[in-house]
């Protein structure tokens, strides 16, 4: 926003003293927590509309999910596909019961530290 002072019918830029109330102080951004990048291999759960008997069962089905480890709890592991800016949370979070997890592999402990591509 640009503030303009009117002085005897002439528009002009105000002196520095008049600008201070309109200038917002620069806030130093708080560092966002780093979430490790992981690969979780787990046994999928499913339901079946037309199962004819106990032997008509889907074979072992291992799923692999890659993402940011946002929670490593006693009952669930939560992996997010996206970490939103400004502390707004996450998108596309998969919550996996610990009892069906086959393995968790750490891919990158601090995704903000290393990048294979130069941004410049």
Spatial separation of the C-alpha atoms in residues 44 and 49, rounded to whole Å? 16
Read off the pLDDT of each residue in 46-74 and give the average, rounded to a whole number.
86
pTM over 0.75: no
Number of C-beta neighbours around residue 67 at 10 A: 22
Domain range annotation of the chain? 37-108
5 versus 104: the higher-pLDDT residue is 104
Whether 76 and 97 have beta carbons less than 8 Å apart is answered as: yes
Report residue 61's pLDDT band, with 50, 70 and 90 as the boundaries: confident
Statement: residue 34 has pLDDT above 60 = yes
User: Which residues, including other chains, have CB under 8 Å from residue 4's CB and lie 6 or more apart?
Assistant: 11, 12, 13, 14
Q: pLDDT at position 28, please? A: 62
């Amino acid at each position: 926003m640009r503030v303009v002072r009117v002085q005897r019918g002439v528009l002009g830029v105000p002196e520095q003293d008049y600008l201070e109330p309109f200038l917002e102080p620069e806030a130093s951004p708080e560092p966002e927590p780093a979430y490790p990048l992981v690969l979780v291999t787990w046994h999928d759960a499913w339901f079946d509309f037309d199962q004819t008997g106990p032997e008509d069962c889907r074979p072992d089905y291992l799923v692999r999910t890659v993402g940011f480890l946002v929670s490593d709890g006693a009952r669930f592991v939560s992996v997010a596909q996206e970490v939103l800016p400004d502390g707004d949370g996450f998108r596309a979070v998969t919550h996996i019961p610990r009892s069906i997890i086959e393995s968790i592999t750490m891919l990158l402990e601090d995704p903000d530290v290393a990048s294979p591509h130069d941004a410049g």
